[in-house]
Structure formats: C-alpha cells, structure tokens
Structure 1
Amino acid sequence: MASSINNLVVSLKGRPITPAGEEIRIYQGSPHPFGATVEDDGVNFAVYSANATAVQLLLFRNPSDLEPFKTIDLSPISNKSFYIWHIFVEGLKPGSGYAYRVDGPKEPWNGHRFDPEKVLIDPYSKGNSLALWDRGAACAAGDNLHKSMRSVVIDTRHYDWEGDMPLRRPMSETIVYEMHVAGFTKSPTSGVQHPGTFKGLIEKIPYLKEIGITAVELLPIFSFDHTDVLRVHEGNPLVNYWGYSTMGYFAPHQGYCTSPESGLHVEEFRDMVKALHKAGIEVILDVVYNHTDEGNHQGPMFSFKGFDNSTYYYLTGENGSKDFYYDYTGCGNTFNCNHPIGEKLILDSLRYWVEEMHVDGFRFDEGSVLTRGENGAPLEHPPVIWSIELDDILGSSKVIAEAWDAAGLYQIGYFPGARWAEWNGKYRDTIRQFVKGDAGVINELAARLTGSADLYQWRHHEPVNSVNFITAHDGFTLYDLCSYNEKHNWANGEGNNDGINDNVSWNCGAEGDTNDNYINDLRKKQVKNFGVLLMCSLGVPMIVGGDEFARTQNGNNNTYCHDNSLNWYNWETMKTSESQEMIRFWSLLNRKRSNFINHFKGKYFSGKLSRFGVPEISWHGTQLNQPNWDDPGARCLGMTFGDTAEDTDGLDNIHIMMNMFWEPLKFDIPQYEGLVWHRSIDTSLQSPNDITTLEESPMIADSGYIVNDRSIVVLTTRASGG
C-alpha cells in the first residue's frame, strides 16, 4: 500500500529531483494553478514567462531574511511546460518567504527587459512583505536581494467562515459607502486597538450600521507600496496613500495587516469580511487592473517587467520598437488587459476574491482601459469585459466601471456589457449645477433623478446601471463643495497645479472657514440638499466616507499623498453637535430610502397609476403639472412619485419640492382622495425638524407649502385618519 501511495505522489508531481534525507525534496511540479499552492506535504510553484531563458526560485525561512536558505534553478526541460515554469517543494511550510530571479533577452527595443540580478515577487502571491523593500534599489542597476520584496507562502485552505457567503443584495437596494481602510481608524481619536488596519475597521462596524449604509466600497486593498515617498513638502513626507498602484493582485495590502511578517494577510482580511457580512454590510473592492506600480521605463522592476515585460504591458517606440510604455492611465504604463495572459490574471484574481475571500463586488478604476485591445484601440466586444460579465463564479458579483480613462476615452452610457454599472459623472455634474444655483438645468436634472434613461434605456439597460454620486475620493468632500470656489492643493507640493480646476462648487459667500453663522448654516443646508437629491434618485447611490459628518480636507481636492490628519477621520470632531446633527440627518435619510425602496428599484417608469390615482411620476413647478421646462431661468422643480407597487398598500407616495432660488417660493401640493400629506424633510429647518421619523412627521393640511430659499422639502402620504 505504501508503495502505491508513493507512486501516486510521483505521478502527480513528477519524480524527485533531490535525494531523500535533505530538509526539502524537489519535484517537477504542476503548471497549474499559477502561484504558490499549499498542499499537505509541500508547495507547488508555477509562473508564466514566454521569453525567459532561466528561472530561479529563492526560498526564505522568514520573508525578512536577508539570504535564501535554498536557491533552486528550474530546469527548462523538467520544470517547464510550454510557457509555464513550475516546481513542487516538499516540506516547505506556510509562512516561508519566496521570490524569483528571471533571465532572458536584454532587448528593450523588442520589449524584453530581463535582469537576473533583480529579485521578483510572484504575480499570483497571496501575501507580500516590504520589510526589506527599497524602491530605489529596484529602479537602479545591480543586485537588490537585500533590499527586495518577498512573497509569502500562505495556506488559504483552513479558515472557519462560520457559514458566511457573499450577501448578494440586489443592486437596486444598495447604498454604497466609499471609504479608505486606514483613514477610517488611523487617527488616535479612533480609540481602536489596531488603528489603520482591517482589524481596526471591524471595531467600528457599529458606526457603519448606525448610518444605514448597505455596502462599503474600499479604496484599493491589494498590495501596494505605502512606503513610497513621492516628495517632501515643508518637512512632511508625501506618500502613496490612496493605493492606486498595485503590486500584487491576490495579496491583501500588508500595511493594513497587524503583523504582515506572520503571513496572516488573508486571515485578517477574511475576518473583516465575515464581520461586515454579519452586520449585513457588503464588501466592494476598488480594483486597479489598468496599470501596475512598475511605472514607465524608469520605474522599478519587482514583478511583471522581470517575468515578461512584452506580455504584461502595452509597449511603443519609434519605428516599431517597444522601448517605452503606452500610458493610457496617467500612471506610466498600461496593463495588457486583453492579452490572454493579462485576461487570465484579471479573471483569476477576481474569482479568488469572490471564492476565497467572499467579496461581494468590484469597482474598476479607469475601467475603460479594460476595453482596449492589444493595439490600444477600444474593442466592441472586449474579451476581459465579457468574460467578467458572463463568468459563472462572478455572475452574482457587483461590477462597477469608472467608464473613462486618462487618455480621453469616455464611455458613460456606452460601456460594453449589459450588467455593468457605471459611475455616472453626468449625474454628479448636473446635481452640483442645480444645487449651486445654476439656471436652466431642470430638464437634465429630471433625467438624472429618474435613473438617466437618456443614457441607459436605449441599450435596454436599467436604472441600476447608474451609480449616482456627487463626491468621490478624488475631488472635494461634500462640505468642501459648499465651502470653496477654488481648489487649495498647496500641501501637495505641486504648486497647486494638480487636481481638477472645474469643481462646479460654490462657497456660499466666503472661501473656507468663516465665523459667519449665516454662511455656516447655508453650507449645512446645501449639504442636506445634496443628500436628499442623492437618496431620492433612481439608480444606486454612493456617498463618500466622512461626508455624513461634514468632513473637510481644507479645500484640497486631490489628497492622494496625505497619510495624515487631512485624510483621517477625527472621531472627536464627530462628537460635536454640528457633526452629530449631520450624522443624524444622513442616518435617517438612508433609512428613508430603504423604507421607500419600491420607488427606486426596478425598471424605468411605465405610466401606471396607484390605486389612489397618483401617477407613477409627475412633474411640477411652483404650480402643479407646470414644470416650466422651457424657462431658461428656472431654478425650482417639483416631482411626485406614486406608489404603484402591487405588494404594498399604495400609501407610500412621495412629493418633492426643490427650490434653489434665493427667495422663498410657494409650491402647490397635489391632493388625492383618501390621502393626507406629512412633512418628512425640510432642509431649511433646524434639527431635529429638518428630518423626522414616520411617527413624528407633522401633517400638512394646506394645499400649498412655502419652500424656503435654497432648500428641499419632501412630503409622504398616509391614509386619511391614519
């Protein structure tokens, strides 16, 4: 029997290359799966390189060791199957470090940049260590062994999920909260045991539940270089804080782990996902497959360049050469997403995060890059997009595209695929214009509030294809949108030349901080106006973490480089009466959207009437059914949502009156037999009257309502006598 088992092992892994009696034994290994795969008796390693002539595997007892305890030369005869290099190391344990050295043609003009002196991490590594990492050494010529990153052998097989699975909440019932893992708890004011980590986020989940969001969209949590000092400005080191330069597509970011050298990257991330799911909160990852952190021809070599530069990147040069990198991303290089190997890596990565890490969805940074073919031109049916669209494993995951890239490709309403949602930049701009007080935008406002049918319905898409947002991580916070006319990015050390110039913002009468109570009250009201419009729109609402307590970045609209209090939540400030007022408003507002979700889910309007005769949708100005579409000076609009759902009592009707004029205006209120209106929201009123619970909402007996200047009123119905 023992002989049969040994024969089976040999047939699966190849014959041993080292004799018995050594600490480890080496077998030929298997070309699949890619990466370091832990089995009961050892680890299988497999990497792709079509053009390499030699591959070395370096093994470290600990990822931070200076020298490998074993260096293995992979044979191009016994350890290579077509373009895949592979080996099985019996006796190697999880927690060990490993890396590669790869040799091949040194022909930049042909796209080949092989350098056997450079130590490379595995593109499929599930954990990376930066304990010895020196970015400069990876950019310069010469051996960087003692200053290199190391991949970590991680066993993903044994984890108690306690029955957890992705939540699969319908997109139409989702409220997205975009947030930064570290910034959420890194301030000493957070009081958590592990600030700035996955574990720290777990400690603050009760707060996320309190504000009523249903999903967190985490800024990049894939391995990136948080040690990269971009520049020093006025004595302050500026670093890669946001994380939009990926090093490893299977590895949780080491900086968000409490002990990254222990190989617990995967376990700590899983703990966070499981805890969020127990709270009913989904996890969406902001993913960056459009470029890597290796930059242009002057950037570091730590993985893809060294394994097979001509495969992984779009290359260009004079007279047909491939010396340089196409930069459709604004970040130095562009990942070759629709090359079969690039496509495989992206799909393998996404499947891994869904299957092994229970992630609920993804937002694709500069998603339009993924539609470009190998020559850089946009494709009608890009393979990677449609593979994600139709994949059985990914089919229930949320997929959201930033439907543009840095090279000018803009695909709002045109992004390939059917179920892909898009960040709706046109929604953002229109809502900002209206609340700012710009005239003549009510026609487009109506389209944006009702799911942007002009953008999506022509392709048989649905309102859920539109992710509605007013602010995002890049740009002003919502409070700064109401406090600054101009960007103030001086702290970035780029002479205030970075960040967008056209913010469609209004400072309400003073630039930045002011002691003028009228202006401060107006700013609060404007923030509430934005919130009401966002939560009363068809589509999928996204708010930015911190907007719910009026977080400010002091007018900086591009805080990508600040790992400091400019980006961190201040939990002491959140306890002030002003912040608590805003948190209360947003918490109730989010719950109102959930209560009235039948208005904001499903298809576009069909013209039905409720059983009380309320139209599914009707438009008004200050007078009923007269929205003044042709008035170039119009700054007000009214709309009524009739509750026509078959599974409700028909009483959840909503009437919204929006006045962005600078004087109060009286709006007519529609009357329906058997129904009475109650005031749910009036952004002009002081808290707690600005927003009320259903039980506390006062009845409105009149046929009209004076809507104060620059404010929004929302009424809801109850049955007469109810």
Structure 2
Amino acid sequence: MQPQNKGSIQAENNVDETNLASATYHKTSPPFTIRPGSRFPSGVTVSAEGVNFCIFSRHADRAELLLYAAADSPMPFQVILLDPEHNRSFFFWHVFIEGLPVGTHYTWRMDGPSDTAATGRRFYPGKELLDPWAQAVSDTLWDRKRACSEQDSDSKSLRAIVAEPLPRISTDTTLRCKQTDLQGAVIYELHVGGFTHHPSSGVAYPGTFAALKEKIPYLQALGVTHVELLPVMAFDTQDIQPGVAARELHNYWGYSTHSFWAPHPGYCIDPVRATREFRDLVDALHAADICVLLDVVFNHTAEGGETGPVIHFRGLANDIFYHLDAIDRRRYLDFTGCGNTVNCNHPVVTAFIVHCLEYWVEVLGVDGFRFDLASVFARGDNGLPLANPPLPWTIESSRILSQVPLIAEAWDAAGLYHVGAFPGMAWSEWNGRYRDVMRRFVRGDPGLIGEIAARISGSADLYAHDERKPANSINFITCHDGFTLYDLVSYNSKHNEANGEDNRDGSNDNMSWNCGVEGESDDPAVCKLRWQQAKNLLAILMLSRGVPMLLAGDEVLRTQHGDNNAYCQDNELSWFDWRLTERNRDMLRYTRELIALRRRHPSLTSNRFFTGAPMPGRDYADITWHGVRLNEPLWYDPQARILAFTIAGQREDEEDLHVVLNMSDQSLDAPLPPLRTQCWHLAIDTAQSAPADILVRENQMPITGESCPVRPRSVVVLEART
C-alpha cells in the first residue's frame, strides 16, 4: 500500500517553523533556537548548551522533528522542518536545539520515495515515528491497532524522551560487578514486574526497578551470584494475538522490543528518569555482590509483519533493518515466529546493536547478556546461514563486550540449531540438550546413562572440541518459557486455555511427569513424590559442571497451573507469590543449602572438564563412575536408570563427593568407595523429609558400613571427611 501524499505532512503543523535565519541563542522557552547539529552520535546528546538530535534514514528526502511538553500533550509546542542542505550529512538527519530541557518528548516524521514491492522502502509522511536510539520513552498514548493502519495519520505514537545524561562507569569502580566471567556463577532468571507485583510482596512501588531493589536481601540469602532479567528494554505490551486481546490480556514477558536503548517505562516510577532508576537498581545489586545479566531481543522487533504497526524502522529504513523477500519486497521473512526478522548482519544494523550493548554496559552498568533466538545472528541478507556471520564476531570483539559474559539461545524458530556450535569463540549457550535429557531421566526414562554423565560433566562432547569450557554450558531444567519446576512434576500436558488461543500455543512436548495425578492433588503420597522429584532435579542441576540457571519461584514451587506459555499473563498466574516463602519454606531452605553446598565445592564449579585421570599428588581420578557396583557404570544397559559417581576435591581442604542418582522404582543398597583415613557423611537424601533432606556440615552424621541405602527416585550425596 502506498503512503499518503506528501502534502499531508503539513497537516499538524500548528506552530511556525523555526529556521536557521531566526537564530537567537540560549532560549529557555519555545520557540527554541536551532543550529545545524551533528550526525554523531545517533539519538539525542544533551550538553550544557542544549540537545543534539540525529536519526538515520538513507532514502528520506524530508524530515520533521516534533517537540512535546509531556507524554500526553495533544499537540507539539514546536515542529522543526529540517533543511537537507544544513541538517543532513550523508544518510543522517540532525539538528541542535539550544536550551531544550531534559524531559522534553519528541517524535519524527519522515518522507521519501516509495516502491515497496520493488525496493522494500516504505515512508509514512503522516505518521509520527519513534527514535530507535531513544534512551527513554513514553507509551502513554500508544495505540497499536491504530498504528497498524497506514491511512491513520493520528497514530497515537510512542514518544521518545530527552533523557538525563548519565556518566560512564569506570571499569575499576566499586559500582562494577566483581565477577567478570561465569565460572562459579549461579544464575537466577526473573521477571522484573512479576517478581514484586503480587500484593504479598510488601514493596512500595510494585512491579518496578525500585521494588526489585527491596528484594535484594532475599536474593543474597538464596545465594545466587547473577540475576538474569527478562526483557527490560522498552517493549510493546499491546503486541498479542486477537484472541488474547479479547481477554484483556497483554504482552507480559516483553519479547516485543521497540526501544533497544531505553528501559521499559512500565518498570519505572517516572519514565523521564528511566535510566537513573535502572542504574540505581544495578548499583544496588552490585553493592550486594550480585551481577546483572539482561535477556535481550535483537532477532525481531515490535513492528511485526506486513500488517504490523509503524513504529520506527519501517518508516526510516525498512529495506535495511529487516529481512525481506527477494522477489516481493513487501513481504517480511520470518525466522522468529514474530512476523519479522532483524537483518542483523547489515553493517548499519550490526553497528546499531553493538553500540546499544556497549551503552548498557558502559553507562547503565550491565554485566552481560543473554540473546533471545540468537541463531538469527547467523543469517545473511537472504536469510540463509553464513559460515562467518559478522554480528557474533563483532560483539565478542568489542573492547567493551569482550569483557562481559555473552549467552546465546542457540536456535531460532525456523529450525537453525547451534547448541554446541554457535558462531564465535567466547559465547556461552543455553544448553537445551541438558534440559531435555535431565527431564527425561528424572521422570524415569531408561537408557540415558551415558548422556547424563556427559551433561553432568560439563558437556565436553559439545564444547571441548572448540576449546570452550564447562562455563560455556548454561545448564537449566526450567526457564520462563515452559513449565515451572512444580508444574513439570505435576502435569503431563500443557493447560493454556487461559491464554485465549484454545490451548494451541506453547510446546506439546514437555518431557514432564505428573507423578500419577494430573494437576492439583491432596494425595499425600503424590505430593511427597512431587517434592522429591523437584528436589532431584535441583540437586542434579547444582551438582553438574557448567553454569546452573534457576527460574525465579522454583525454589518455593511456584505454579502456573499447567500453563507453559504464560507470556500474556500479567496477573497472579505469573507473579511471584511471596506467601510461598513461608508455605513452602522447607523447599526454600533446601534450595539455599544446595546452592551453598555447590559454592563451597570448587570441584563442582571448576571450569575444566573432567579427565578421569589421577589428581596431582593423589592415586585416584578427578571423577570415577559407578553403577549398582563400584567402577561398573551401566553405559550400555538400555534399561539402566541408576548412575553414581565420585568427585575428588580440588583442594586439600575440600571434601570428596560421592553421588548416587537412583531414578528407578527400586531401592538400592549403593556400595561406597573405600576411604583410608576418612569416612562418608550424608549431606543430601531427597527421599527424606525436611530437615533431613539436606544437612549442614555440622549436623551430618558419618555412614558406618560399606554401603548406603538409596530409595527409589532419589538422589543421595555424601561428603568425605575425618
């Protein structure tokens, strides 16, 4: 569909245009005086004299900047028509406005030649566009449905805000996280809004960055080293399916980014101070020795497919920022399942992404990133995989980004799968193979012993050949996408009816087991088994080399009642119910002690793969594998559901560990490796009730005899000491 006639661009100009000839310096009220400005950097740059605006649009031949006093101002107080001779350098439009105050809201209008089918270029001269480089935004008037109409010039657009400038954080400051890599990390994946939105949270401003600060003592007590925040870059809460919208639901997870440089206004007390509020949170977490990772979404944007809304890129440089069909350039190639795919290996787009990430590190203090559907980063202009895609290499080669953890969700929605082979050198990966095999093993699937051992050992089969390390494997059992831990042991099938899509959404293959009853149960035997299975999964996760990631709420058995795709449920179904910290305090205690056990054992957090060879100065190996008999692992038994192993301490003061995983339905009298001067002490027995399920060192009792009873579907861990 062709854009409106250029003449319509003047329709809303209710004020006189300011031009260079009328320059009067240091105005403090409109109309503000303007100068030509600079093409670097993009976005806004605030100085003592005023504000520089710059935006990229290669093929635009007309640009207007609209200034608003507030988020809900019905009309701009000044509209500036940029002069191509003075306000354009190459493909950048720019203007400097003297004395313009921080907090001013603004949009752009652009026009240019359009031949969408042939070139993919789109211009919408009647629509107001959001600055993609904006560091603060407002969605007060945003109407996604109206923005999807090309005829509707009154789009109720998103508005950018001239944000308070923040200084860069020095690399040697105390405001930086002390840990620069992931060795020894325990990651906690949480949703900023959902973590404090429940009425039981007891915070001053529920659902905000400020509220999360109030919960830092809880995170410290839990023992996690990193929080991984679900998307906090500003996203479109209205980006949902029609059936979902009919239920008055909205996009909750945030995987619909529109402003990559701006914190989400919904998480702010005052969106004008968004950058300050976010940085205050980061500083507070660093002061508590907790690092901050961001889940970022550069694979697609909130503009969606051909019928999606006009927000920014579509009306600025559609043919550059998106993958388009080679024959019919009106069509968007969709490798993400979200309507469009960012053309991330175009030089302009690569620079946009890298500079954005550097900003979040240098200015906002972030310590690393997890990249959603990162296999998209390997696709070229035509969507086909590249042997050496520029973006992943450019990210890890950045002077700034080379110093922080980079985690890839190493697949995309169109079948590209890179687990164990993501392009680049330094990338860690969400290990989907770890998740899948552990779920199957604990639910009772036989014949998995060999792969279970490989995953517990850090997945050397996936990473060692490329000279990567165990920390390149992010091990997880659950994450935001799918069942919670409690639901994994309580449901055989998904139950997503509340989403409004007739239970068609979400994965159908969850590798779960309901322990005999689907959903809620008051049968004591079923409930006990579910708790035991949950403890089994957590124990294996924390006993594995690599980097464990825990989903927020799993430590208190939070449930979504079988909904495995709660992306639209911004309500009590998804929120962290803080009453569970008391109701399920035994599971919380178990998780805390489990994390503590992991962190006090360097043999579990080591960033080296096991060799099976004797330890220096000792006559036994760093790891020894067993089955129902010592030194006889059941590698080739198709019915085996039992694996035991002994891990040697790395330091003289570190206890050896002996672990027995019995996922069979039969009790086992597990033989114990002989010790010369020490004896085995029982540390964990998931079949026991609290507090005997996990014992602190001073309460552990020695095991007498040459074996230890291990009940069905349980994990036993022993420590060797005098």
CA contact 1:231–1:237 (8 Å) conserved in 2: no
Measure how far apart 1:416 and its partner are: 0.7
Asked if 1:57 corresponds to 2:61, the answer is no
Task: Output one character per residue of 1:125-161: Cα deviation in whole Å (capped at 9) or x when no partner.
Answer: 0011011111122111345447121100012236999
Is residue 584 from structure 1 mapped to residue 589 from structure 2 by the alignment?
Answer: yes
Paired residue type of 1:20: T
Alignment-derived partner of residue 5 in structure 1? none
Aligned to 1:33, which of 41, 55, 58?
41
Counterpart residue number, 2:700:
697
Residue in 2 that maps onto 1:136:
145
Please list every run of 5 or more consecutive structure 2 residues that lacks an aligned counterpart in the other structure.
Answer: 1-18
Q: Is the 8 A contact 1:229 1:237 kept in 2?
A: no
Q: Is 2:248 the partner of 1:241?
A: no
> 1:653 corresponds to which letter in structure 2?
D
Native 8 Å contact 2:299 2:342 kept in 1: yes
- Offset of residue 17 of structure 1: 4.8
Aligned pair partner of 2:113 in 71, 95, 105: 105
Q: What letter corresponds to residue 104 of structure 2 in structure 1? A: S
Give the CA deviation at 1:558.
0.6
CA distances 1:320-379 after superposition (whole Å, capped 9, x unpaired): 230110000000000010001110110011000000001000000000001111121111
Question: More deviation in 404-413 or 59-68?
Answer: 59-68
Report the counterpart of residue 195 of structure 2 in structure 1.
184
Corresponding residue of 1:679: 682
Aligned match for 2:463, one of 456, 463, 475: 456
Matches of 2:180 and 2:131 in 1, distance apart?
34
The corresponding residue for 2:8 is none
CA 1:186–1:701: 2 relative to 1, 3 Å: same
Q: Could you say what secondary structure the match of 1:523 adopts?
A: helix
Amino acid at match of 1:714: V
CA contact (8 A) 1:619 1:626 kept: yes
- Written as runs of structure 1 = structure 2, the 5 A alignment for 1:553-568 is 553-568=560-575
The equivalent of 1:118 in structure 2 is: 127
Deviation at 1:228, TM superposition (A): 4.5
Contact 1:653 1:716 (8 Å CA) reproduced: yes
Matched, 1:707 2:710: yes
What is aligned with 2:159?
Answer: 150
Q: Please name the residue that 1:7 is paired with.
A: none
* Counterpart position of 2:647: 641
Q: Which amino acid in the other structure matches residue 183 of structure 1?
A: G
Determine helix, strand or coil for the equivalent of 2:227: strand
Please give the per-residue CA displacement for 1:507-556, whole angstroms capped at 9, x wherever unaligned.
00100111110010000000000011000001010010010000111011
| Correspondence 1:670 to 2:673 | yes
| Matches of 2:115 and 2:274, distance apart in 1 | 37
CA contact (8 A) 2:244 2:568 kept: no
Please list, as runs of the form range in 1=range in 2, the aligned pairs for 1:240-389 lying within 5 A after superposition: 240-260=251-271, 263-316=272-325, 320-389=327-396
The superposition leaves residues 562-590 of structure 1 with CA deviations (integer Å, 9 ceiling, x where unpaired) of 111100011123321xx101100000001
Q: Superposed, which structure 2 residues align to 1:621-636 within 5 Å?
A: 621-636=627-642
1:173 is paired with a residue whose SS is coil
Q: Indicate the percent of aligned positions where both proteins have the same amino acid.
A: 46
Q: Distance in 2 between matches of 1:159 and 1:371?
A: 31
Q: 1:116 to 1:235 in 2, by over 3 A?
A: closer
Is the contact between residue 16 and residue 27 of structure 1 (CA under 8 Å) also seen in structure 2? yes
- CA distance in 2 between partners of 1:225 and 1:597 (Å): 43
Pair 1:233–1:147, CA change in 2 (3 A): closer
* CA distance, structure 2, for counterparts of residue 502 and residue 153 of structure 1: 46
Secondary structure of residue in 1 paired with 2:286? helix
Q: CA deviation at 1:613?
A: 3.3
Match of 1:6 in 2: none
Cα deviation for residue 269 of structure 1 reads 0.3
Which residue identity lines up with residue 18 of structure 1 in the other structure?
Answer: S
**CA pair 232-499 structure 1, distance change in 2 beyond 3 A:** closer
* Aligned counterpart, 1:509: 516
The match for 1:11 is: none
Render the CA deviation track for 1:251-287: whole Å, top value 9, x for unaligned: 0000000122xx1100110111011111111110000
**Which of 161, 171, 176 pairs up with 2:182?**
171
- Looking at structure 2, the residues matched to 311 and 555 of structure 1 have their Cα atoms a distance apart, in angstroms, of 41
Instruction: Determine if contact 1:624/1:668 at 8 Å carries over to the other structure.
Output: yes
SS in structure 2 at match of 1:72:
strand
Q: CA deviation at 1:18?
A: 3.0
Per-residue Cα deviation, 1:578-624 (whole angstroms, up to 9, x for no partner): x1011000000011110003332221123232645332010001210
The alignment status of 1:488 with 2:458, answered yes or no, reads no
Residue 19 (structure 1) aligned to one of 18, 23, 36: 23
Q: Per the alignment, do residues 616 and 510 of structure 1 end up closer, same or farther by CA in structure 2, a change over 3 Å counting?
A: same
- 8 Å Cα contact 2:603-2:648 kept in structure 1: no
Pair 466,160 (structure 1): closer, same or farther in 2 beyond 3 Å: closer
Question: What's the secondary structure of 1:238's corresponding residue?
Answer: coil
Q: Secondary structure at the match of 2:548?
A: strand
Cross-structure match for 2:5: none
* Change over 3 Å in CA distance of 1:91–1:424 after alignment to 2: same
Q: Which AA in structure 2 matches 1:253?
A: H
Q: Are the structure 2 counterparts of residues 309 and 159 from structure 1 closer, same or farther at C-alpha, using a change threshold of 3 Å?
A: closer
**Residues 147 and 155 of structure 2 are in contact (CA less than 8 Å); yes or no, is this contact kept in structure 1?**
no
- Deviation of 1:649 after TM superposition, in Å, equals 1.5
| TM-score with structure 2 setting the length | 0.94
Does the 8 Å CA contact 1:64/1:129 hold for their aligned counterparts?
A: no
Q: Distance in 1 between matches of 2:609 and 2:423?
A: 20
Which segment is superposed worse, 57-66 or 656-665? 57-66
- Aligned equivalents of 2:708 and 2:120: distance in 1? 69
Q: Distance in 1 between matches of 2:169 and 2:709?
A: 58
Aligned partner of 1:71: which letter? Answer: V
Name the CA distance, whole Å, in 1 between partners of 2:244 and 2:42. 42
Task: Tell me, yes or no, if structure 1 residue 391 matches structure 2 residue 398.
Answer: yes
Alpha-carbon distance in structure 1 between the residues aligned to 2:181 and 2:701: 33
Cα–Cα, structure 1 residues 466 and 146, in superposed 2: closer, same or farther, change >3 Å? closer
Quick one: distance in 2 between partners of 1:493 and 1:232? 5
Instruction: State the 1:635 CA deviation.
Output: 0.6
Q: Select between 231-240 and 143-152 the one with higher mean Cα deviation.
A: 231-240
Q: Which blocks of at least 5 consecutive residues in structure 1 are unaligned?
A: 1-14
Question: CA–CA distance in 2 between the matches of 1:230 and 1:458?
Answer: 43
Q: Please state how far the C-alpha of 1:107 moved relative to its aligned partner.
A: 1.8
Moved more, 137-146 or 478-487: 137-146
Counterpart residue identity of residue 264, structure 1: R
Verify the 8 A CA contact 1:311 1:339 in the aligned structure 2: yes
3-state SS of the aligned residue for 1:177?
strand
Q: SS of the residue aligned with 1:36?
A: strand
Q: Given that residues 304 and 338 in structure 2 are in contact (C-alpha distance below 8 angstroms), is that contact kept between their aligned partners in structure 1?
A: yes
Per the alignment, residue 8 of structure 1 pairs with none
Do the aligned partners of 1:489 and 1:498 also contact (CA within 8 Å) in 2? yes
Is the CA contact 2:482–2:564 (under 8 Å) kept in the aligned structure 1?
A: yes
The 8 Å contact of residues 169 and 363 in structure 2, kept in 1 or not, is answered as: no
Q: Please, what is the CA RMSD of the aligned residues?
A: 1.7
Q: Any conservation in 2 of the 1:231–1:239 contact (CA below 8 Å)?
A: no
Q: Tell me, in whole angstroms, the C-alpha distance in 1 between the residues paired with 2:169 and 2:381.
A: 42
Report SS of the residue matched to 2:189: strand
1:113 deviates by 1.3
